[in-house]
Structure 1
Amino acid sequence: MAEILKANCRVCNYQTSFRYGGGRFDFQTFNPVPAYDKTTEELESVNYKLEKDNPDYIFYTD
């Protein structure tokens, strides 16, 4: 099941939320996980199934 992860920083008050994991019917093709994009320096929700070998992303999967 998909989950929504929420994060906030107590120091700088940064807040964000991400979808994590696929749904019941599309989990084999669509698996969004939080990732850091090295080129834009932004946090994004990226489909791990399609981008797992892309060196531009650092995935947060723990």
Structure 2
Amino acid sequence: MKWYKSGEVHRFDQPIGKQYTFGHGPEFMSDAEKKDRQVSNLKMENEILKKYLELEKELGKE
């Protein structure tokens, strides 16, 4: 959560125990792969927010 809130989403791509500080993530990823990964993360975030809003509506009705 700390990385996400501070905008350090590049850290999600690094393996456990490996720290990337110089290039902000693994160098083997191309720009297209990075963009695909970002789109995937945003889609997941959107789905989570939709589910949250549904739950909020259900709890508000009761």
TM norm. shorter chain > 0.5: no
Greater fraction strand: 1
Q: TM-score, normalised by structure 2?
A: 0.21
Q: Which has the greater radius of gyration?
A: 2
TM-score scaled by length of structure 1: 0.21
Q: Which has the higher helix share?
A: 2
